[in-house]
Structure 1
Amino acid sequence: MKEISFIHCADLHLDSPFSGLSSLPEGLFNRLRESTFRSFERIVEEAVTREVDFVLISGDLYDGEDRSIKAQARMKKQMERLAEEEIPVFIIHGNHDHLGGSWTCVELPENVMVFGSDEVSIKEMKTKRGMMIHIYGISYGERHVMERTCTHFIKNGDVDYHIGMLHGHCENSPSSHQPYSPFTVGELLEKEFDYWALGHIHQHQILWEDPYIIYPGNIQGRHRKETGAKGCLIIELSSDHSKMEKVETSDVIWENKKVSIEGIVHFNDVFYCIEKAITEEYINGKGVILNIELIGTASLSQEAKDKIVSGELLEAFQDSMDFDDSFVWLNRIDWAEAVPPRTEFQGSSFFHELENAMDGFSKEDMDESMKDLYRHLHARKFIAAPDEDEQVKVLQNAKKILAGLLHR
């Protein structure tokens, strides 16, 4: 039986700066900074333990074109680990780590084959069991690749398996990623390859099953929009079947959770509900960064609401956390429903003008309002300017506070 096994991973983003998270506690921030490396080390260990035939890395190994020496050195160490086990590695570079950047290059061992950016090329290999394979790929020569590079993949040679490596965007997909190197599933199927190893999209997606056309997702979530466990894929191809196994390797997991407090009035009961939700997210050997949204808040006492809005509730859960092993860090607490204003205000010109003022509050207005805080000699050392999502949340909470004051 003609059978091969390999690991497919992508979007490592080694040494990611985790922008906007520097205000987290030092221990947690350091754990995050190491998380991409830890996840990749686990992927390499899977390759060794399972004795796979080869490893495919489909782009964005590094987080930027000016890739750090630290990231390259850690990559080299893992490649040497695979070289010891005679496991070849095939790499394409994507939009984040394109080959047109400027960096000091750390040379990788001979078992690593990197595809160039000039044209789609073919790397031929023979497995220990005698299977002949052609692996096709191309790296990005610059950050913005809008060409349909998929059209340049042409099946060639009489071998057992043909595998394509492509870092790009599938058209008509819901992803918000940049539409670089676009393609359609139909275009890839026309190539009659046995497997397509995709990269660029950070969520695991199976676009087609026979043959497999797959995004493995990134190996480590880096913010609250990249939720759930991340990792790599173990692929087995044979003459009569194909098999895919997703292996979780991420060191820190981001999770968003809705917690119902319907009918609850008192602060202590809210605290208990959140405490229970945190316990449910405990994962042995891994860290969890948890964002909670409270729903069903209409019955809350004003005292409880005040403690949520002021941050006292969040601070109570964040105090004295250890980040060495398993942990659950409560990152933020949002609440869904605004307190309805009193009936006599609903049709008033005052409330209408207030709504208009809030809706018209721009980023520039927020920057002006908060400039003294971010310029403060001491405060600016501990806080980062809010991103767009955080600005929206600030405005939403402001509306809730104003509505609550009107209700009172």
Structure 2
Amino acid sequence: MTAFRFIHAADLHLGSPFQGLALKDAALAARFAEASREAFAALVTRAIEEKVDFLIVAGDVYDGDWKDNSIGLFFNREVARLGRADIPVFLIKGNHDAESVITRTITLPENVHEFPVAKPGTFRLDRLKVALHGQGFAERSARENLALNYPKPEQGWFNIGLLHTSLTGREPHAPYAPCSVEDLRSRGYDYWALGHVHEFEVVAQDPLVIFPGNIQGRSVREQGAKGAVLVSVEDHRIRHERIVLDRARFHEIAVMAALEDDLAALANRVAAAADPLAKSADGRVVALRLRLSGETPLARDFMARAADMRDEMQAALHRAGEDVWLEKLDLRLTLPKKPVAAEGMADLEALLPERNWSPAMIEEADARIREIAAKLPGGIGAGDLPLGADAAELLAEARALLLARSGGGV
């Protein structure tokens, strides 16, 4: 069999709006949006440098319908680079760019081959004796087991299956095109190029079944390095290596405040905790969620002067790295316990439950959040968490702020 190499990528999510970041810092959100494009450009460059024989994209090229043609033109420009290098591209539609979702189109170059959505299809590379089988999504939701209808393998050829799927379930991803590894194995293919799950995972070795993850993290739930997989095949022996492509990263750190800490000491703790992440980012922009906990007199300052304290923590992160930015400050600080509560404070604390909010209170808070979200500019209130947190978390922050400004505990 002829030796060949290919790159397996998935979940490009070009055009992702980074709504959560946009609410907190529009400039930082813009940098992450640009990072998504830069990551795909880096993928194309790597494919050309490695002189791969073809590129696979297992769904979700786009994050959703285009506002204009700019993202389509960008994708066209990059895959045209591959065309000039004689590298074909094979792709399927996923849930984010299903046929029913994307209403605009840009005619793509001839080296781009898209699998059908009504039924599985096959593309053959005669020179390499490689057959690629796949089916894209017609609708955003694909509840049926698509894999069972994939065609029989081409005998004597290297067979690759492309599928956008959650398999038997991968939290927090929605259950699309559900199937088992045994379902995949039953098709008799040599390699399964999966998409949909945003974490890198080698699911099985016989046959090789891989989620490459997405090429660029999109929220703090998608932390660390992101990229694709370079696959080498010779005489049916398969080797794979992960290639890192992301140009920006999300991280999360937890710092415990000591009772004796003043603000400078706490800031030093934060800078020290962020330092390894800044170094490992290797020049990439980092959006970092900082969780502060512990018993400290500083708790009152963090609630009563929230903006100032957030700026102090941002300054600490910049001491760790010039491109480390505070994505969110998650406060879990408590004031030192007093032997006797201040007069009237016990009544106030009793009136305000700490976490167990009544269904009526949550419903009322959700209604207020919807009112505010509807007035936010540029559609940034359209996400699942338009204010960056759910009703329970916002109520907890409001309670802590009220108690802090009243001189009570947090």
Q: TM-score normalised by the shorter chain: which range applies?
A: 0.7 to 0.9
The aligned residue for residue 283 of structure 2 is: 285
- Amino acid corresponding to residue 301 of structure 2 in structure 1: K
Q: Distance in 1 between matches of 2:239 and 2:155?
A: 23
The aligned residue for residue 130 of structure 2 is: 133
1:199 and 2:199 correspond? no
The aligned residue for residue 366 of structure 1 is: 365
User: How has the CA–CA distance of structure 1 residues 29 and 135 changed in structure 2, closer, same or farther, with 3 Å as cutoff?
Assistant: same
Q: Distance in 2 between matches of 1:369 and 1:104?
A: 35
User: How has the CA–CA distance of structure 1 residues 343 and 150 changed in structure 2, closer, same or farther, with 3 Å as cutoff?
Assistant: farther
1:213 and 2:213 correspond? no
1:5-154 → structure 2 map (5 Å cutoff): 5-66=5-66, 68-101=68-101, 103-126=103-126, 130-154=127-151
- Amino acid corresponding to residue 157 of structure 2 in structure 1: D
The aligned residue for residue 301 of structure 2 is: 307
1:247 and 2:239 correspond? no
Aligned-residue CA RMSD (Å): 3.2
Alignment partner for residue 187 of structure 1, among 183, 188, 198?
183
- Amino acid corresponding to residue 358 of structure 2 in structure 1: G
TM-score, structure 1 as length reference: 0.86
- Amino acid corresponding to residue 56 of structure 1 in structure 2: I
Q: Distance in 2 between matches of 1:83 and 1:29?
A: 31
Deviation, structure 1 residue 132 = 0.5
The aligned residue for residue 157 of structure 2 is: 160
1:305-384 → structure 2 map (5 Å cutoff): 305-309=299-303, 310-318=306-314, 327-336=323-332, 338-339=334-335, 342=338, 353-355=351-353, 359-360=357-358, 362-367=361-366
Deviation, structure 1 residue 308 = 2.4
Deviation, structure 1 residue 4 = 2.2
User: How has the CA–CA distance of structure 1 residues 120 and 37 changed in structure 2, closer, same or farther, with 3 Å as cutoff?
Assistant: same
Q: Is the 1:341–1:406 contact (alpha carbons within 8 Å) kept by the matching residues of 2?
A: no
Q: Is the 1:86–1:111 contact (alpha carbons within 8 Å) kept by the matching residues of 2?
A: yes
Runs of 5+ unmatched residues, structure 2:
none
Partner SS state of residue 158, structure 1 = coil
Partner SS state of residue 138, structure 2 = coil
TM-score, structure 2 as length reference: 0.85
Deviations 1:315-351 (A, max 9, x none): 23547x99xx971112222233544765667xx8875
User: How has the CA–CA distance of structure 1 residues 351 and 327 changed in structure 2, closer, same or farther, with 3 Å as cutoff?
Assistant: closer
- Amino acid corresponding to residue 93 of structure 2 in structure 1: H
Deviations 1:110-162 (A, max 9, x none): 11110011111110014xxx421000001111111111111111323224300
Runs of 5+ unmatched residues, structure 1:
none
Deviations 1:267-298 (A, max 9, x none): 11011111223333223331100111123x11
Q: Distance in 2 between matches of 1:375 and 1:154?
A: 48
Number of corresponding residues: 394
User: How has the CA–CA distance of structure 1 residues 327 and 100 changed in structure 2, closer, same or farther, with 3 Å as cutoff?
Assistant: same
Partner SS state of residue 44, structure 1 = helix
- Amino acid corresponding to residue 150 of structure 1 in structure 2: A
